[in-house]
Structure 1
Amino acid sequence: MAFKEVREYQAGDDIRFIEWNVSARMGHAYSKLFEEERELSVYLLIDTSASNLFGTNKQTKRDLITEISAAIAFSAVSNNDKISTILFSDRIEKYVPARKGRQHVLRIVRELLGFTPVSGKTDLEKALRFLTSTAKHKSIVFILSDFVADHYEQALGVAAKKHDVIGIQVFDRMDMQLPRIGLVEISDPETGDNFLFDSNDKYARLRYSKQFDEITSQARRQFKKVGADLLQIETGQDFVAILQQFFIKRK
């Protein structure tokens, strides 16, 4: 409910909503009037860290995040809702306040297509805390990330109490398992560290797959704990069909 105006007190008005300051000045009682806010604000919390530059199936994870974000933004504006974006790495890279209109959405899409982050690292906790301090009214929040991040459970819980939070975890098939191609040099895109990896080694491949399983399981566990939804979408998948099925199910 949003405050609308003050009018003279009428029989039956809730005394909790008497505006005492105005009443004192005017010499008789005045009440606050409220109206239901029907407009929604949609926030896109978008991970721009370097791990999302990886992709082997038609697109990178960042490409997939951009396409999903654009689809959600155009859907919001067609429903006359406001749309806002928060681009983050281990810092808030860019904040675009919530507004309506097709031109605003086109601006957001341009930002996503041409944006170069300052940092390649990830701090989801910091991004969630910025969201909580910025979004004053209950909103729909989409978090688009590969969730290669730690220590965000508490901040996620705070955000989920105030907003309708939906996580969209993007991943690539090569995140799950590497092919057997012998000894390869692997680079960590966020730290820049390089190391040799024997993809023919059964136990090395097992450790690689286990790491991915731990990341996805942690995301599922933390979202479930705070009562928020989580979708997991692979590069190259038809994300529109997945989103449609998800919202039909929620409805």
Structure 2
Amino acid sequence: MNGARLRDLAPEQALRRLELTITHRLDGLLQGDHLGLLPGPGSEPAEGREYVPGDDVRAMDWNLTARMTTPHVRDRVADRELETWVLVDATASMDFGTGRIEKRDLAVFAVAAVGFLTERTGNRLGAQIVHDAGTRRVPARTGRPHLLGLLGTLLSAPRGQGGRGDGSLGAAADLLHRTGAGRRGLAVVVSDFLEPVDTWERPLRLLGARHQLLAVEVVDPRELTLPDVGMLTLVDPETGRKRDVPTGRRLRERYAAAAAGQRREIAAGLRRAGAARLRLRTDGDWVRDLVQHVLAQRRVAAAAPARPTAAPPAPGGVA
């Protein structure tokens, strides 16, 4: 799907095309009541099992432990209704793209994938949109009209004017942690994460302490390597500063090394924050990348050791 053409369409046509792309390509894979991006605990009691190192001691089932004479914990199953919050970076650095689409379009696609795959069973979706001038909050509600309204807001959002202002990913994550849903849900942060890691790592870690946390890292290839095009004019979208640089071999090598180091630092910060990381590129197939992430999560879950139930077998071996 071409982001530029999508924005040239009427809002209703653009949203319809986006919905069809997601439901046709993802619906068969991600079946179930909840979006299968992150395995994790719910809040309703389920089966008991023997304690293994690393289990949360708050899940100890003392009655079952007394009966079985060995430590046991009780697993949890997901609630019937899932509340999802998306934190979307719409600052000036997202108004960039040398691939097939811009980073801001890719952010809209990521939010749409989460929204269309969670709204069908009455799940609630809320959002916080970070602009250069501040943060806009969209309350969590159910229903397709609410989702289409949110996506329309993202598609029609004005481009960044440069200058950080009051818009900050870390401040928005902290605000979502303090004012978001009171019970555990899914939090999805969509950004290029180009702000200093120490400004957003701790707020994301606090957010992940309450919710399952997915970080969607949006990347453009020119943020990783420079082309060999002679003299190149570079513009910082956040500040508007310009600089002419010769793209010789040594500069391209230093740029690639610095960009790789920056991405390693971002990945380490997200890992320390406890977030699952999904990277989407403007020159790639975002649906394929999303599918590969889901399949990888399922392989990890399938490879986990089996958890035997604590209840003894019924007489005669009948369950």
Change (3 A) 1:149 1:205: same
Contact 1:89 / 1:124 at 8 angstroms: preserved in 2?
no
2:10 corresponding residue in structure 1: none
Change (3 A) 1:218 1:87: same
Classify the secondary structure of the residue corresponding to 2:283: coil
Instruction: Tell me, in whole angstroms, the C-alpha distance in 2 between the residues paired with 1:91 and 1:140.
Output: 26
Instruction: Tell me, in whole angstroms, the C-alpha distance in 2 between the residues paired with 1:169 and 1:76.
Output: 20
2:247 corresponding residue in structure 1: 199
Change (3 A) 1:93 1:116: farther
Aligned AA (1:138):
R
1:213 aligns with 2:260: yes
Q: Percent identity?
A: 28
Instruction: Tell me, in whole angstroms, the C-alpha distance in 1 between the residues paired with 2:218 and 2:130.
Output: 16
Q: Deviations over 1:214-248 (max 9, x none)?
A: 33112210121232211111113222222223223
Instruction: Tell me, in whole angstroms, the C-alpha distance in 1 between the residues paired with 2:102 and 2:275.
Output: 26
What's the offset of the Cα at 1:119?
A: 5.5
Classify the secondary structure of the residue corresponding to 1:177: coil
2:215 corresponding residue in structure 1: 167
Contact 2:223 / 2:259 at 8 angstroms: preserved in 1?
yes
**Over the residues paired in the alignment, what is the CA RMSD in angstroms?**
2.0
How many pairs are equivalent?
217
1:84 corresponding residue in structure 2: 126
Aligned counterpart in structure 2 of residue 132 of structure 1, from 154, 177, 181: 177
Aligned AA (1:130):
L
Report which of the two has the higher share of strand. 1
Contact 2:91 / 2:160 at 8 angstroms: preserved in 1?
no
Q: Which runs of 5+ in 1 are unaligned?
A: 3-35
Q: Deviations over 1:176-216 (max 9, x none)?
A: 1111111121110001111111112x232223223322331
Change (3 A) 1:110 1:52: same
Classify the secondary structure of the residue corresponding to 1:190: coil
Contact 2:207 / 2:213 at 8 angstroms: preserved in 1?
yes
1:46 corresponding residue in structure 2: 88
Q: Which runs of 5+ in 2 are unaligned?
A: 1-42, 45-77, 299-319
Aligned counterpart in structure 2 of residue 236 of structure 1, from 283, 286, 300: 283
Contact 1:43 / 1:142 at 8 angstroms: preserved in 2?
yes
Change (3 A) 1:118 1:174: closer
Contact 2:90 / 2:132 at 8 angstroms: preserved in 1?
no
Aligned AA (1:143):
V
Contact 1:84 / 1:96 at 8 angstroms: preserved in 2?
yes
Change (3 A) 1:207 1:79: farther
Instruction: Tell me, in whole angstroms, the C-alpha distance in 2 between the residues paired with 1:177 and 1:118.
Output: 24
2:191 corresponding residue in structure 1: 145
1:114 aligns with 2:156: yes
Change (3 A) 1:152 1:91: farther
Classify the secondary structure of the residue corresponding to 2:250: helix
Q: Deviations over 1:109-138 (max 9, x none)?
A: 110110126654362110110110121221
Answer with 159-168 or 112-121: which moved more.
112-121
Contact 2:132 / 2:160 at 8 angstroms: preserved in 1?
no
Change (3 A) 1:91 1:63: same
Instruction: Tell me, in whole angstroms, the C-alpha distance in 2 between the residues paired with 1:107 and 1:165.
Output: 24
In the TM superposition, 1:17-96 aligns within 5 A as: 37-90=79-132, 92-96=134-138
1:158 aligns with 2:203: no
1:179 aligns with 2:179: no
Change (3 A) 1:98 1:155: same
